[in-house]
Amino acid sequence: MESGFFQQVYEIVQKIPVGCVATYGQIARLCGNPRASRAVGYALHVNPLPGKIPCHRVVNRFGGLAPAFAFGGADVQRNLLTAEGVSFSDEYTVALDKHLWDPFG
């Protein structure tokens, strides 16, 4: 994927509100490429502005945290989300029924 795709990913991720999460697949669909969830993950892994682009708000389709979260691991991602009021159904799985972002609602 080219940098234009990455920029699109970053712009969408910046819109995820505090207290919400989105999935890699959801971001890929919003970018117009529903099969690009892995590319979304890579774009977030190489995020050039970690303080500005809230990569920690992106989880897998089951609500699972990234085991190798680029900026410190799943524990750091969990702590960041917990600080934003996100709840979990188990130690490393976000309660998607409560926190999944609806970009159209």
Indicate the residue type of 84. E
- Catalytic-residue membership of 55: yes
**Catalytic-role residue among 28, 31, 36, 55:** 55
- Which two three-digit tokens encode residue 96? 């998607």
* SS3 at position 31: coil
Alpha carbons 22 and 16: distance in angstroms, whole number: 7
Alpha carbons 41 and 90: distance in angstroms, whole number: 22
Q: Which residues are catalytic?
A: 55
